[in-house]
Structure formats: C-alpha cells, structure tokens
Structure 1
Amino acid sequence: MKLGMFMMPGHPPERALYDAIQQDLEEIEWLDELGFVEAWIGEHQTNPWEPIAANDLVVAQALARTKDIKVCTGGYIPLFHAPGPLALRIAQLDHMAQGRFICGLAASSLPMDQALVNVDAASGDNRKIMQEALEIMIKMWTEHVGEDGEANVWTYEGQFHTVKNVENHFPYRAWLKPYQDPHPPIAVASISPSSASLRWAGEKGFIPQSMMFNAETLKGTWQAYADGAESAGRTPDRALWRVSRDTFVADTDEEAKAYVKNSMMGRFWEEIIIKTMVGMGAAPFLKHDPSVPDEAIDLDYLIDNLFLVGSPETVTEKVNQLQEDTGGFGTLLPVKYDWGTIEDPRAHAAAYRRNLELLATEVAPNVRDVIAAPAAS
C-alpha cells in the first residue's frame, strides 16, 4: 500500500490564509522527505474551514519546494471554470510539474458553492457540467494542435458550453499541449456509495478517489466504479483506488486519542462534519453498524469505530481490517487538518510530523497486500 495525503485542507476560520497555506506547503515538504507518493489539494469557494479557492496556485508553489512527490488537484471543480481556458492552464501546470501532476476533478457537494454559479445539484447538473467540461478539456489536450503544428478547426456544442478551436491567425496560433502524453492522468472524487461520477470514471478509465466514510460506503463507491469499467469493457484495477481516511498515529493509543480530541481535527468534526452529515441524512456513512443511533455519533465513537487513530500497531491493524473489508485499495490518503492552535499555527508541528513518520516507517510497511492482480482487459 502506498501513502499519499488528502489536503482539503482543514483550517479553522480564524487562521490567516497566508499562515494556513504556509503550513500546507511545509507539510508537503515533509511528505516528500518521508516518501509519500502524492498530495491532493482541494478547492472550495464558500467553506471557511476549507479555505483554498485556487488549488493550482498551491500546487505550483509546492512543486517548486519538493523533488519527488506528485502534487495533485483534488480537485478542480469545473463549475467555477471555463473548460477551454482551464485545459490550457492545466497544460501549463503539467509542464511546470514535469510528470509530477495528476489532475483531479470533483462535481461539488457544497450547496453554497453551487449557488454561487446558480447550479441546482438536485438536477444533477453539477455532475453533468463536470463530465462535459472534461470532454472539452480532453479534446483541447488532444485536438488543439494538429501534427503539422496547425490548429485543428472544430466546434464543441454542449449543453452547458460551446468551445471553438479556430484556424491560425499569424502570429497567433494554437500551440500548447500538456507535458504528459496525451494529457495528465485524470482522477475523479466522490462520496456517494452509488456514485454516478465514479461509474462514469470507471467507464472512462480514470482514477477513482473515495472519501473518508465506513467500509460499507467505500465498497459501494468501488462497486459503482467497477460496474462502469466493466460496462465499457475495462478491467477495474484496485491498485488505482485512492481511499481517504481520518488518521493520526502516536507512540501510544492514549497519546493519539488525546491529540485528536484536543486538535483542530476534533474541532472540525464536532463543529462541522458530524452536524452536516447527520443533518443531510448521511449519518449511516459514519456507522460501523446500521443499528447505532445517530445521537451516538460523537468524536469518541468516530475515534473508536471509523478513524485510523492509535499506536502504530493499532493503526496497522485498522488499516489491514479496512483493506480486508473493502476488498483492497492501492493508496491510503490520510486527511490533513491544521496542526496548530488559534494563537500559534505551528503549536503541534512536532507531534504531527511524528505521526507522518510513524505512518511511513511503521504502518505502511506492515499493511498486508490483499489486491489480486487484475485480469487482462
């Protein structure tokens, strides 16, 4: 099993944005030093607890401060972007990354993000916009410029966007292609156990990324992806599957639990996530047993039954159990939360880095490989 990091990233609203981003960049440097393979950076416009509105600006700075780790958008939300210019912006970023970039996309699950651009998610338009935008972007990456260097002339007329690739007007012409051929790898994130987005990702052969819920929910997201792949004649490969999980490792179980309960991770869950999940009827995604009443879901319950929290031995056991329960996945993405206090953004830096070191050196090497090799497509 490989290790990455999903950086929503979670910071308290009181944190100065500059300080928040500097913390994220420092952590990505640590991840690079410790051999983590990926860092995924989220994007929202209206969530003060996830304050990154332009994730590729953070990606660009992180690439300049690291050597090996892939720094990925996790993900662009196409609701906020015109797909033609976005495709060329990503192509430029791909050149800057020199192979260390994966382009993740998400349909958007926040009602205020959707309202900002007048999209009603109940209609499924947020998902349809993402799919149409990616069709246009792939067309731009692969058909923007012909083999002769001349522009390919075409018009894409979709439900939400019309994009024209026109003939050259010397000295102005189409010229930009991505660094990776034919384009950066594409990843799609989803939280729903019957995700239409992941079914579509399976059909297209994109990378699936599932969010931080219980094993039964994760199995549902994988099944949606696998069904989509098989419907298109593809063989789904569990090694591609990225799974996010709230994680903290310390030398003892008691230290790890105490950290979470007194950290921004604990505060975020208590103030925002638990209330949101219960309020939207998604509490079952958090339960280890459907018979658990919603009112029993608190931070202690989550630490014991959902999160990967504890000593290296405890967390290794929990990861192994998660691998068995889900059928196996290729990369674990612990979720990043602010590791400071309101007064000091670096207050718990040493404990947080120790957690990353234990994950890399004592947990990941001891996780059992349960993934069977996929049959040839």
Structure 2
Amino acid sequence: MVGRRGGMVGDTPACGMPLRPRRLTQAMNSTTAPRLSVLDLVPVRTGQSSAQALAASMALVDRADALGYERYWFAEHHNMAAVAASTPPVMIAAALARTSRIRVGSGGVMLPNHAPLVVAEQFAALEALAPGRVDLGIGRAPGSDPVVTALLRSSGPTSDVDRFPEHVQNILALMHPDGARLRLTDGQVYDVHATPAAEATPTVWLLGSSDYSARLAAELGLPYVFANHFSGAGIDQVLALYRDGYTPSEAHPEPRTFLTVNAVVAPTLAEAEERAMPQLRAMARLRTGRPMGRSETVEEALADPLDGLGQQMVQDMRARWLVADPETARAEIASLAARHGVDEVMVVPVAGTYAGEPLDSTPGRVQTLELLAS
C-alpha cells in the first residue's frame, strides 16, 4: 500500500517525515500532580449480567468526565466470564455520546484480530462523530486463549502478528485525510480512504509491556504506553529505549508516554485492602492456570483463603498495586510519575464490590476515581 504522505507505507512513518532524533527529558518532582486517566476492562461480578456490568462502566465514564480525567480507554478481551470488554469501538461510541470533554479510546484494539482497514474505518468514523476526542490504542496480543483467537480469525488471515509494523502504518495512512493508495498487480493505483472526507485523525498510541512496541513506537514517531498494570518488569529500560531511540514525526515531534497502574482507593486502608482482594485473587488464578468465573464479591474472597502459591502471588502483585487511603494514594501516584518521568498516569480501577451493593454500579471503582481526583 502506498501512503500519500510517506511514500510506500512501511518505508517511512505515515505520520510524517523523520526528523533528527532527540531524547525528551520529562522533569517532575514528587509534589507535582500528574494528569489522571482511566483504563476499564468492564468487570463482571457474581450475580451480575453483562448489561449491568456495561451500565456500571457507562456510569463510571460519566463520573470520570465530570471529575476532569484526561482520557478513558476500554480494553479488548474475549470469552472471559469476568470481563465484558470485548468490543472497544462499540463502547467508545456509547461513551462519547454521553460525555462532553473527556478523550475516549481503546486500551487497546488487539490488531492481530482485525483487518487494518476495518480498524481504520471504525476509528475514523468515531473521530468524525467526536472530533478531537478519540484515541486509538493498538496492541499485538490476542486478548484471549488460542481457541478463541482461532475463531476470531476463522474467516481468513487478518492482521498477521509478523506484519504488525506494516499494518500499523497502513492504519495511519488509511485514516489520514489524504487516504492511502493501493498499488494493484497490473500497475494501477487505487485510492483508499477510511472515511470519504476526513478532516482529522484519532491519536494513535502503541501499547506494550516489553521493548517490542516501544521500539516500534520510537521508530514511527508515535506515543507509547507501558502496561505497568499487567507487568512492571523492565519498565525503566523499556521507557529509556523508547525515549533514546525516538524519531520525531510531524504529528509528534517529542516522545510522549505514560504508564498504567492497578488502583484501589478507599477512605481507610483496611477497606482498600478488602476491595483489592477479589481482583488480586482472580489474577492469581489466571496466572496459575485455574478456571476463572465472574469476579467474587469481597465477602466471597475473604471467606475462601488461597493456598500457599496463590497467596504468594497475591502478595507479590499487591506490592506493585496502588492500594491505599486517599492521601497516601495521591502521594504514591505523584511519586510514580516522577520516578518514571511521565506527566500522566492511567489508573485501572480494580476495586471489588460488597455483596449488598447495587448490581448496576461499581461503588468501589467510583470511589477510587473520586478520591484520587479530590
């Protein structure tokens, strides 16, 4: 495919001609309050339907918008009883329609599951509906197990993992107002546009927890997000690779990055610890290959202690999560941002729910966002 702005797509960044590399130094001190954003996996708990889980997330994005959060992203996971976030574009459209200023996007679209043109068309349409408020976060993990991954691709090969860099660049070109050009086998050139008359494009971010996406984002001059909520291993090395190797682009002359963190904030540390337990236990089960049902209530989690290995995993993960009272949480967020040189932190509100709380809301997650923003 040929991009109008960068020659052959795959030869140069579709977002602009490469400029002289330069490292960004983001200076922050421990008292600086970083901007806050939200990543939502749309959790489903005991006794809750998918409809109720989605209603709870829509209420949460409303609250994040009112509280001044920077952006709100939806994840992509498939065939998981505890997660209802399977179709980011659908949830993004619903969230954009009910909010007024917050940026809404994907965290992220798992590109190997989708044809690049489909992704480009979906997000170009979202940008047309809400100009200046759409983010397209792209990842290369499958977002599910091998069986479901095969089902997602059963109609034929879509975005081959090995062609991930090419497909990212194709999306950039397809969404650009000038569109892209497809060179046919007979030598003819065919114009392709994600939308017929685009005026702007969503901001594209690459997501990852290893150096692969960081290196690619640096090469293409794109913003990058480190998935610290999933795995914090090697964060300093990965961010250094991104910043040191960054090739400025027309759209992004400087490297731009932030990181994610699992967060549970409550009026007291004791409550925060209790609300963290259902998700900690769910992650321990996932990482030890055990069946995962819907998320437990706090009471269910406290009544059924894990074995030695599971408990050790809970303790290890707890040390990397933000589980605290409001004052401590805000200080830890500022410290985390300063330590890694970022001016934004995306929280994953993973607070569990007590048995008596309404099924169509998530009071613990709402509380986390409110207390962090206050």
Q: TM-score band, normalised by the shorter chain?
A: 0.7 to 0.9
1-structure distance, mates of 2:94, 2:189 = 31
Residue equivalent to 1:336 = 349
Higher relative contact order (CA 8 A, sep 6+): 2
Whether 1:322 aligns to 2:311 is no
Q: Secondary structure at the match of 1:22?
A: helix
1-structure distance, mates of 2:357, 2:335 = 36
Instruction: Tell me if the contact between 1:37 and 1:70 (Cα under 8 Å) persists in the aligned partners.
Output: yes
Task: Using the TM superposition, give the Cα deviation of residue 83 of structure 1 relative to its aligned residue in structure 2, in angstroms.
Answer: 1.7
CA separation of 1:144/1:320 partners in 2, compared to 1, >3 Å: closer, same or farther?
closer
Residue equivalent to 1:358 = 371
| Corresponding letter in the other structure for 1:353 | V
For normalisation by structure 2, the TM-score amounts to 0.72
Q: Secondary structure at the match of 2:41?
A: strand
2-structure distance, mates of 1:61, 1:127 = 29
Q: Secondary structure at the match of 1:309?
A: strand
Task: Using the TM superposition, give the Cα deviation of residue 188 of structure 1 relative to its aligned residue in structure 2, in angstroms.
Answer: 0.9
Residue equivalent to 2:183 = 155
Whether 1:105 aligns to 2:129 is no
2-structure distance, mates of 1:347, 1:64 = 19
Residue equivalent to 2:196 = 176
Output the aligned Cα RMSD.
Answer: 3.5
CA separation of 1:210/1:43 partners in 2, compared to 1, >3 Å: closer, same or farther?
same
Instruction: Tell me if the contact between 1:340 and 1:346 (Cα under 8 Å) persists in the aligned partners.
Output: no
Whether 1:312 aligns to 2:332 is no
Residue equivalent to 1:49 = 82
Instruction: Tell me if the contact between 1:91 and 1:177 (Cα under 8 Å) persists in the aligned partners.
Output: no
CA separation of 1:31/1:276 partners in 2, compared to 1, >3 Å: closer, same or farther?
farther
Task: Using the TM superposition, give the Cα deviation of residue 232 of structure 1 relative to its aligned residue in structure 2, in angstroms.
Answer: 8.7
Task: Using the TM superposition, give the Cα deviation of residue 116 of structure 1 relative to its aligned residue in structure 2, in angstroms.
Answer: 3.6
CA separation of 1:27/1:166 partners in 2, compared to 1, >3 Å: closer, same or farther?
same
Of 166, 179, 186 in structure 1, the residue corresponding to residue 190 of structure 2 is 166
Task: Using the TM superposition, give the Cα deviation of residue 4 of structure 1 relative to its aligned residue in structure 2, in angstroms.
Answer: 0.5
Residue equivalent to 1:128 = 162
2-structure distance, mates of 1:144, 1:5 = 32
Per residue, is there more helix in 1 or in 2?
A: 1
CA separation of 1:82/1:33 partners in 2, compared to 1, >3 Å: closer, same or farther?
same
Whether 1:189 aligns to 2:185 is no
1-structure distance, mates of 2:249, 2:130 = 31
Q: Secondary structure at the match of 1:49?
A: coil
Q: Secondary structure at the match of 2:137?
A: strand
Residue equivalent to 2:270 = 254
CA separation of 1:322/1:70 partners in 2, compared to 1, >3 Å: closer, same or farther?
same
Residue equivalent to 1:222 = 239
Task: Using the TM superposition, give the Cα deviation of residue 69 of structure 1 relative to its aligned residue in structure 2, in angstroms.
Answer: 0.7
Residue equivalent to 2:57 = 24
2-structure distance, mates of 1:105, 1:156 = 28
Task: Using the TM superposition, give the Cα deviation of residue 295 of structure 1 relative to its aligned residue in structure 2, in angstroms.
Answer: 7.2
1-structure distance, mates of 2:50, 2:194 = 36
2-structure distance, mates of 1:18, 1:91 = 27
Of 340, 359, 366 in structure 2, the residue corresponding to residue 346 of structure 1 is 359
Instruction: Tell me if the contact between 2:37 and 2:347 (Cα under 8 Å) persists in the aligned partners.
Output: yes
Residue equivalent to 1:298 = 313
Of 225, 233, 239 in structure 2, the residue corresponding to residue 209 of structure 1 is 225
Q: Secondary structure at the match of 1:298?
A: helix
Whether 1:270 aligns to 2:284 is yes
Count of matched residue pairs: 314
Ranges in structure 2 where 5+ consecutive residues have no aligned partner: 1-33, 291-307
Identical pairs, percent: 20
